[in-house]
């Protein structure tokens, strides 16, 4: 056999091995999946379709976590929404059977949390070990999202809903531990419809390393790493206190700052959180 032919055969063999290796799921480096936060008030068909496509389209496997709601039929609306959109499989996760819950979550390409009370959701998931499974799936590329309370829980430090909406005073916006999927971001929902600007501003001035993202109804923010994009009928308000000079304030005192960055976004716009 001629040397040139031997070299070509060896190169072809190495390329074939490389192709097989790259096609192996273990060998491919996975990027974290997108995070979809909807401001409540209805998830539009465009938001549903976009989210489902991110999760695999017709092959998407959806896990619904309805624990923010007290309703005995909680989750049924989400099951119908994702089934009607064409998902391959949609299942409701019960925290009562943790082994079954883990199994469902580990198969999911989309983990979805509908509305209710974000504090209730965090109380229910505490101690189950399922938060770690959600993070595991997100790191592996699954989409994680939610609407209303299901959007609020995505933050690491979460708005509980307890706040003074008629003042700008220190200590009036209560935060608690969320799922931690959006570290450094404080999500608020129903933002314009329910006039929640005061609580978001107070919250970020009390916690100036957090960027406030107020999402209005029927509107979604899709987070990919440090970039966020807007989809939906209304707007998103971003309140960034990091460049601001803040005046010190004790609890109950009016907060004050100069140089805060305020951005108002609508559908089709993107924003860097860097």
Q: What is the CATH number of the domain that holds 197?
A: 3.40.50.880
pLDDT of residue 162: 81
Each residue's pLDDT tens digit, 153-170 = 999 999 998 877 788 999
Mean pLDDT of 56-81: 97
Q: Is position 82 within any domain?
A: yes
Domain count for the chain = 1
Instruction: Give residue 151's domain range.
Output: 34-268
Instruction: Give me the residues paired with residue 169 across strands.
Output: 254
> Which pTM value belongs to this model?
0.88
Q: Residue 15 — pLDDT band, cuts 50, 70, 90?
A: very low
Q: Is position 19 within any domain?
A: no
Q: Is position 202 within any domain?
A: yes
Q: Is position 146 within any domain?
A: yes
Nearest C-alpha neighbor of 131 from the set 175, 161, 92, 95:
95
Q: Is position 3 within any domain?
A: no
Sign of CA dihedral 186, 183, 134, 131: negative
Q: Is position 16 within any domain?
A: no
Q: Is position 83 within any domain?
A: yes
pLDDT of residue 164: 78
Q: Is position 12 within any domain?
A: no
Has residue 17 got a pLDDT over 80? no
Mean pLDDT of 68-94: 97
Has residue 11 got a pLDDT over 60? no
Angle at Cα 194 formed by Cα 189 and Cα 196, nearest 5°?
65
């Amino acid at each position: 056999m001629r040397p040139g032919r031997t070299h070509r055969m060896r190169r072809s063999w190495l390329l074939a091995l490389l192709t097989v290796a790259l096609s192996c799921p273990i060998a491919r480096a996975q990027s974290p999946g997108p995070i979809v936060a909807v401001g409540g008030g209805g998830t539009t068909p465009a938001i549903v379709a976009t989210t489902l496509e991110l999760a695999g389209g017709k092959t998407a496997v959806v896990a619904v976590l309805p624990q923010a709601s007290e309703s005995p039929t909680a989750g049924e609306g989400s099951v119908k929404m994702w089934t009607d959109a064409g998902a391959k499989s949609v299942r409701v996760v019960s925290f009562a059977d943790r082994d079954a819950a883990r199994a469902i979550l580990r198969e999911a390409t989309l983990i979805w949390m509908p509305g209710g009370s974000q504090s209730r959701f965090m109380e229910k998931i505490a101690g189950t070990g399922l938060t770690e499974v959600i993070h595991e799936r997100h790191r592996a590329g699954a989409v994680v999202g939610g609407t209303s309370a299901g959007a609020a829980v995505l933050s690491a430090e979460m708005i509980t809903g307890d706040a003074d909406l008629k003042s700008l005073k220190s200590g009036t916006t209560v935060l608690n531990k969320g799922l931690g999927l959006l570290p450094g971001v404080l999500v608020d929902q129903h933002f314009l419809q329910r006039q929640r600007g005061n609580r978001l501003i107070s919250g970020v001035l009390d916690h100036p390393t957090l960027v406030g993202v107020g999402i209005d109804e029927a509107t979604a923010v899709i987070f990919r790493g440090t970039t966020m994009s807007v989809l939906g009928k209304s707007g998103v308000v971003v309140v960034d206190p990091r460049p601001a000079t803040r005046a010190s304030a004790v609890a109950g005192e009016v907060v004050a700052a100069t140089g805060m960055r305020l951005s108002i976004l609508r559908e089709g716009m993107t924003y860097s959180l860097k």
